[in-house]
């Protein structure tokens, strides 16, 4: 260190309000979902970047998203839902444990708007989880996904893109595929069995944080409605 640099640092230490030169906080690497089996599968939790959650309709994709939102909001975190198909059901989400006062619900008209809104929400900060539901739609240039991934990492936000197919491609740090395992009913011996939900099978297809030998591992999520 030169004498000039040392003198500047010493001056800053003596400046009111700068009595200590605190190191910059390291960017958050991942966010615990507080769903123990899922966190174990993911190597700690959702990465603070883009995650793809891919599955057909009635595969349990939405129910898993509700479980994530419920866990985050119960912990006092804010969650945003960018809902392109306009499929978010507040009543169903509340029954799944989601605390609605801590949800920002946005209903864009097209894919371009959905991605632009997601960028703005992530850049604003304060949201620990952003759910981007694209359903059957695809779109977005590589530059958009790259910006979104970088902004999410910088602000410590997990962005989960839900859809029937992969959309972020190489810009997603984590890819999960969910498929329907079996249908669960209760009171099957009676005249009118009650539908409890679907057992969803979550497969880890790609991860930059989990050990390589865990890629391809699966998790069964019981009775997701």
| 4 within some domain | no
- The CA-atom distances, in angstroms, between 146 and each of 30, 46, 124, 221 are 18, 18, 17, 31
Minimal CA–CA distance to 159: which of 81, 57, 83? Answer: 81
Pairing of strands 127-135, 158-163: parallel
Q: Is the whole model's pTM more than 0.85, yes or no?
A: no
| 19 within some domain | no
| 151 within some domain | yes
Q: Residue 111: is it exposed, middle or buried by C-beta count within 10 angstroms (0-12/13-18/19+)? A: middle
| 134 within some domain | yes
Instruction: Judge whether residue 87 has pLDDT over 70.
Output: yes
Instruction: Judge whether residue 75 has pLDDT over 90.
Output: yes
| 87 within some domain | yes
| 212 within some domain | no
Q: Residue 110: is it exposed, middle or buried by C-beta count within 10 angstroms (0-12/13-18/19+)? A: exposed
Question: Helices marked H in 29-177 — which ranges?
Answer: 36-42, 61-74, 90-95, 111-124, 142-155
Structure tokens at 190: 């009676």
Q: Which CATH number do you get for residue 143?
A: 3.40.50.300
| 161 within some domain | yes
| 6 within some domain | no
Q: Which domain holds residue 35?
A: 25-176
Least confident of 86-95, 125-134, 195-204: 195-204
Q: Which residues contact 137 (CB under 8 A, 6 or more apart)?
A: 84, 85, 111, 114, 163
What is the model's pLDDT at position 6? 58
**CA end-to-end distance (rounded Å), the chain:** 62
What is the model's pLDDT at position 191? 59
Least confident of 18-32, 41-55, 95-109, 125-139: 18-32
With cut-offs at 50, 70 and 90, classify the pLDDT of residue 36. confident
Averaged pLDDT for residues 56-82: 92
What is the tally of structural domains in the chain?
1
């Amino acid at each position: 260190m030169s004498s000039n640099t040392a003198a500047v640092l010493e001056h800053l230490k003596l400046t009111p309000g700068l009595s200590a030169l605190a190191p910059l906080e390291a960017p958050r690497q991942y966010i615990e979902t507080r769903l123990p089996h899922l966190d174990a599968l993911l190597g700690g939790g959702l990465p603070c970047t883009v995650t793809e959650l891919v599955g057909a309709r009635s595969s349990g994709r939405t129910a898993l998203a509700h479980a994530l939102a419920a866990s985050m909001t119960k912990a006092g975190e804010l969650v945003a839902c960018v809902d392109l198909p306009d499929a978010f059901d507040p009543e169903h989400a509340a029954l799944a444990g989601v605390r609605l006062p801590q949800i920002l619900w946005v209903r864009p008209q097209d894919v371009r708007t959905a991605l632009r809104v997601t960028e703005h929400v992530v850049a604003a900060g304060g949201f620990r989880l952003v759910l981007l539901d694209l359903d059957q739609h695809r779109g977005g240039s590589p530059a958009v996904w790259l910006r979104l991934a970088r902004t999410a990492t910088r602000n410590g936000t997990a962005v989960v893109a839900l859809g029937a197919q992969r959309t972020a491609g190489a810009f997603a740090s984590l890819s999960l595929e969910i498929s329907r395992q079996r249908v669960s009913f209760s009171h099957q011996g009676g005249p009118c069995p009650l539908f409890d939900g679907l057992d969803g099978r979550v497969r880890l297809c790609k991860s930059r944080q989990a050990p390589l030998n865990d890629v391809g591992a699966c998790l069964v999520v019981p009775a997701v409605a």
